[in-house]
Structure 1
Amino acid sequence: MSLSLERASELKQIIHNHLLKMNIHGRIREVLAETVREDHGPAHRSLSQADFLRALQHRGIIDDVMKDLQFTQEVLTDAEPGSPPKPATHFVDKNITQLKKTNIDPSRRHLYLQVLGGKAFLEHLQEPEPLPGQVCSTFTVYLHFRNQRFRSKPVPCACEPDLREGFLLEIHREGTGEGSKMADGTTMLSLCDPVHLVLIKTDTSSETMLVSSYFLDWRVVLCSPNGKTCFAVELMGVGSECKVPAGVLTVGLELYPPLTDTLSADIISTQQSLERQRTAEKERLFLVYAKQWWREFLQIRPSNQSKMVKIFAQDENTVNRPVCSYVHVLRAGRLLESPRQAARFVSLLAHEKAPVVGGGDKQEQWCTLMAFLCRGKGDCEDHATLLCSLLLGFGLDAYVCVGTKAKGTPHTWVLTRSTDGSITFWESLTAHRYVHRAIDPDAPPLAPQPKPTSPYRTVGCVFNHYTFRANCQPSDAVELCVFDFQNQSRWKAMSQEALKSVCAPGSTTSLPPLPPLCAPSLDPAAASNQLELELRSLVSEHRKGCCCPGCR
């Protein structure tokens, strides 16, 4: 039987992967050391190749290697003529129920997450099955895990949507120089980062809607036999529908390579219970501190009660979190070239208030960053926190401002301070910038005063990822405010240590992980060129078949 060069290379790669999985090099070194020490003694250092092979065969290592190397007919047979060779660093998962492990690096630990279908999406119970080529509403699953983001193929909305997708997630250590080492069971047990699943519905007019946001604790696979498990995940609604089930997803988890010694379920449940207790205690202590801080703030001036000082905010799952936890240092790399471009990017995300059933005031909903990016639209708070995170990533001294604009409408925007003390307001919905110049109320009546240029009327507090300051000046009018944050008589600050205990990355398990920005899947230059070529071709074909004198 003859093999092509591509199949021979793939076969070598399979053998190499199996040998790495068995740690064959370490076992050979152990046999070599034992043979030199026991059989030949310290005085005799020479060892022939035949002696070493006999030692390997005597200890059964050669038999173990031959038993472990089992190939299927698909690997040994040659590829079809004209089929492209498969890259050595990529796998094509044609069958969702079985992961092809031939080209996965066996020296790294991976988690294979499968979405095996959905059911009980009762809102779409009466929705008819779409005809071929018909435009219909679709479901899309977005996933984020430890700086890795994925998206499933859109499928038609139905009571039992055909959501079937596989995602290969890499589990790695965070220590310096340990990124290439395989994580063991103890290390993975300490990784409390969940898998964030976001379900988005896109209707026929391309409008998106956030259906559910779910945090999956994947560590249940550590106690499963053979590193495989499958279970159902109940997705709840968002906002006012957070207590109403949206549907059920069947999820399968597979650990590769599997653990030789699986952990017990009691150890995993104990670890999760300890993490919840530690998080609850930190949040309780911060709440006690926040209440005391608020009482002190009201004692400064009774009128402070009416100022817009926002300490906590609810996310899409109606979980109360400190507002500082919604801001992170987000570095865009080469995706965004300047702060102005970052402001333009944020302004292109659509503005939409959180939907609410019935009338009355708007429902407050500060989305997590992953849900906001997947949905592609949100309220002014979502835009402001994202823009502040990006400006912090560019090295600017940026803060989110909570206050009001014209007609007393609640609003949030971004403030940056320069090294010379100048203040610039950034409107996250429009990418406009305004230079702030405060009015001096103690100036003489005839002294010239700067005219307000921004649309903002009052400001109650400012915050970013590590500081929170409330405005305790006599007036909260923006044109009279002095943004000297070091002056305790003008701005009352919270303890940075208290904020860090509940808002710093990794401080509590209730904080959602920070997703990275992803490059667009569409190359605008290439798409523009292709569109121009297609238009030229269509115009040329139209002119050939047209009888008008002007087209000839």
Structure 2
Amino acid sequence: MDVQNRIRDILSQTIQQDYLGQNGDVSEQDILQKLRQQGVVDDLLQQIQFSGGQQASGGRPATHFVDREDKLTQPPGRKVNIDPTRRYLYFQIKGGKAFLEHIDESDPMPGQVTSFFTFHIHFRGQRFKSRPIPCACDPEIDEGFLLELHKDGSGEAGKMADATTMLSICDPVHVVLIKTEISGETTLVSSNFFEWRPVLVSNGARMTMLLELKGTGNENKVSAGVIDISLEIFPKPNKTFTQDILTAQLSLEKSRQSERERLFLVYAKQWWKEYLQIRPAHQDRLVKIFAQDENCINRPVCSYVRPLRGGRLLDSPRHAARFVNLLHHERVQALGGGSKPEQWTTMHAFLCRNRGDCEDHAVLLCSLLMGFGLDAYVCVGTKAKGAVHTWVVTVSLDGTVTFWESLNGHRYIHQPINPDAPPLDKQHRPKYPYKTVGCVFNHQSFYANNQPTDFVEVCQFDLQNEAHWKSMSQDALLSVCGVGASPLWPSLPPLCSSTLDPALASNDLEQQLRVLVYEHRRDLGLTTVWDDQLSYLLTPALAAYEMERVTGITAGNEEWQDSIKQDVLDGHTFKGFPIQFTHRNARRGFATCLKSSRCEEIINCRGDHVRLGVRVKVFSYPESACATWIMFACKYKSIL
């Protein structure tokens, strides 16, 4: 706007015309009045972009997990408060290049729905999420993340990290790139651990560079794309290091971790040799000591698990089980045929994608149960049809053994069968789907099944009994899996609260379903009359269904049945159909409902005085996971 020159011209003109030759100073109020009359103040107010207002879509700041395109509770936007006594790393992603899978995609038209990228950042317990970025060969990103550097030591957390402290912070910045399709399906494009400390030896504690993002799984050697990033330390440290000091520090950390891993590998080989000497059949048991992550890096399985507290986001172990089972289950896809590829996704990448395989679910559930103080372990074994599977087991002080299925939230009490006892009736057979168990582990323990048979139904879970379970040395495990033992391996991220407004999302989805039912019945030549009171009366049933999924307890059923009987007149018939989804796509949900003969019978209901009802209730959980309950109902006059 060239504000300074405009103000200078107005001041000069005002003094020459109105105050020339007068004694005394020109008052500030007079000058402001002249500026208002000339329109300068109004122009300024229109041009200034206040933080917290509606910003241009291209310059929106990165936010703490706020999906601006959804039905959300919008937190008030405001400037980030920077504590001048703390040190920060400003990590900026300027733009992207060479995302060749999207070379044919053109810039979307305004309002056009397209697939999009989302960048997720995790650094020392801090998580950030970028705005949705339309997929393109050269995407325009322009996102910045302010990462706080701090010291972990007791009593030192309030001090500003000095140069020496920052040099010793070996936590990498975890950059996860997620692609979301138009249908809502998510794909893990890249999971990159970025070493940020070269900025400490750069001029002015600021540097720019190109970062190549590799693919995941079988494509971990292939470039997914390149991002242009810049790093800057605030405030700038007084002391700087030479490149030689940084190189020496990084080499020392890498050699220490390599030595720890080498010694553990030597120990694991010897331990495995001793295990095979006990019984040759142990060769065929599923004793999983190492697993590959999404970047094909072999790590001890114990390093994937660590006690994780949900803060105030989860109220009980059963709420944790419900949350984990709402995360989408998807097997790792392989190019071509053959056996299933192995991939144990790191926790941050799994939560960002919101979907993963049974191993990812079991590791997350075990970590949460340990956070609630339970003695929990991940089990590796097979299901009834021989497929490799993982689940969670907890052992109480009184010896009660409980299986937790992370994919559906079911719990099973394990009562081992005495193989020497008489044959059992079919009704006494175990209800759980597990067939064999090879090993169990958590963050500091690893036990291999040492019993004559590995069938779950006869297995004793007295883990301290060396005759039944062969354990690894806890010291050996902690040397590579303990806190701080292998800093180059990723730490567990904190859970993020849901940004979903359940009431708003429920109402929106319900209105969409009403339109879909109206159009469906219109195509069949049927009229549609909605009964709002009937729809409202379905609410307690949906709340009871969700409570039953969480706690296993059914409550309020008598009151709900009584309310329905009061509403349905004599001679009329009531029918209802409840169903639950883990998404909020109206058309997808409606198409699935129509596949059920019971639901189709309700929606296509013909007769006298037909009244339809539909109720949607969305229950939100951390990480934007949700349980969407839908219930269709109808009442009509029976014709005998």
- Per the TM superposition, whether the score is higher than 0.5 is yes
Q: Find the partner of 1:181 among 155, 159, 164.
A: 159
Q: Is this contact kept in 2: 1:370–1:514, CA < 8 A?
A: yes
Secondary structure at 1:411 match in 2: strand
Secondary structure at 1:509 match in 2: coil
- What is the Cα-based RMSD across aligned positions, in Å? 3.1
Q: Find the partner of 2:307 among 323, 329, 332.
A: 329
Q: Does 1:409 align with 2:387?
A: yes
Q: Find the partner of 2:145 among 167, 171, 183.
A: 167
Question: How far is the alpha carbon of 1:203 from its aligned partner?
Answer: 1.0
Unaligned runs of 5+ in 1: 1-75, 88-92, 537-547
Identify the residue that residue 80 of structure 1 maps to in structure 2.
45
Question: How far is the alpha carbon of 1:163 from its aligned partner?
Answer: 1.5
Q: Is this contact kept in 1: 2:304–2:363, CA < 8 A?
A: yes
Identify the residue that residue 283 of structure 1 maps to in structure 2.
261
Give the 3 Å change call, closer, same or farther, for CA 77–390 of structure 1 in structure 2. farther
Q: Find the partner of 1:493 among 460, 468, 471.
A: 471
Distance in 1 (CA, whole Å) between partners of 2:90 and 2:43 is: 28
Q: Percent identity?
A: 61
Structure 1 residues 440-469: Cα deviation after superposition (integer angstroms, max 9, x where no partner): 123356999952221100000000010000
Identify the residue that residue 352 of structure 2 maps to in structure 1.
374
5 Å-filtered alignment, 1:144-155, equals 144-155=122-133
**Number of residue equivalences:** 462
Question: How far is the alpha carbon of 1:534 from its aligned partner?
Answer: 11
Aligned AA (1:408): G
Distance in 2 (CA, whole Å) between partners of 1:525 and 1:450 is: 44
Distance in 1 (CA, whole Å) between partners of 2:320 and 2:79 is: 40
Identify the residue that residue 288 of structure 2 maps to in structure 1.
310
Q: Find the partner of 1:130 among 108, 119, 131.
A: 108
Identify the residue that residue 91 of structure 2 maps to in structure 1.
113
Structure 1 residues 344-379: Cα deviation after superposition (integer angstroms, max 9, x where no partner): 111111111112110111101000000100111111
Q: Does 1:222 align with 2:187?
A: no
Q: Is this contact kept in 1: 2:91–2:145, CA < 8 A?
A: yes
5 Å-filtered alignment, 1:230-379, equals 230-379=208-357
Identify the residue that residue 522 of structure 1 maps to in structure 2.
500
Q: Does 1:429 align with 2:429?
A: no
Question: How far is the alpha carbon of 1:509 from its aligned partner?
Answer: 2.9
Distance in 2 (CA, whole Å) between partners of 1:135 and 1:513 is: 35
Q: Is this contact kept in 2: 1:437–1:450, CA < 8 A?
A: no
Secondary structure at 1:128 match in 2: coil
Secondary structure at 1:163 match in 2: strand
Q: Is this contact kept in 2: 1:96–1:114, CA < 8 A?
A: no
Distance in 2 (CA, whole Å) between partners of 1:549 and 1:306 is: 61
Secondary structure at 1:407 match in 2: coil
5 Å-filtered alignment, 1:31-50, equals none
Aligned AA (2:494): P
Question: How far is the alpha carbon of 1:173 from its aligned partner?
Answer: 1.1
Structure 1 residues 306-362: Cα deviation after superposition (integer angstroms, max 9, x where no partner): 111000000000000000011110000110111111111111111111121101111
Identify the residue that residue 135 of structure 2 maps to in structure 1.
157
Give the 3 Å change call, closer, same or farther, for CA 133–391 of structure 1 in structure 2. same
Question: How far is the alpha carbon of 1:263 from its aligned partner?
Answer: 1.3
Q: Is this contact kept in 1: 2:172–2:488, CA < 8 A?
A: no
Identify the residue that residue 204 of structure 1 maps to in structure 2.
182
Distance in 1 (CA, whole Å) between partners of 2:91 and 2:146 is: 6
Distance in 2 (CA, whole Å) between partners of 1:448 and 1:493 is: 35
TM-score (norm 2): 0.68
Q: Is this contact kept in 2: 1:505–1:511, CA < 8 A?
A: no
Distance in 2 (CA, whole Å) between partners of 1:272 and 1:305 is: 39
Distance in 1 (CA, whole Å) between partners of 2:134 and 2:283 is: 50
Q: Is this contact kept in 2: 1:436–1:453, CA < 8 A?
A: no
Q: Is this contact kept in 2: 1:221–1:229, CA < 8 A?
A: yes
Structure 1 residues 244-285: Cα deviation after superposition (integer angstroms, max 9, x where no partner): 111101111010000122111111111000000000000000
Give the 3 Å change call, closer, same or farther, for CA 242–102 of structure 1 in structure 2. closer
Aligned AA (1:353): R
Distance in 2 (CA, whole Å) between partners of 1:481 and 1:102 is: 56
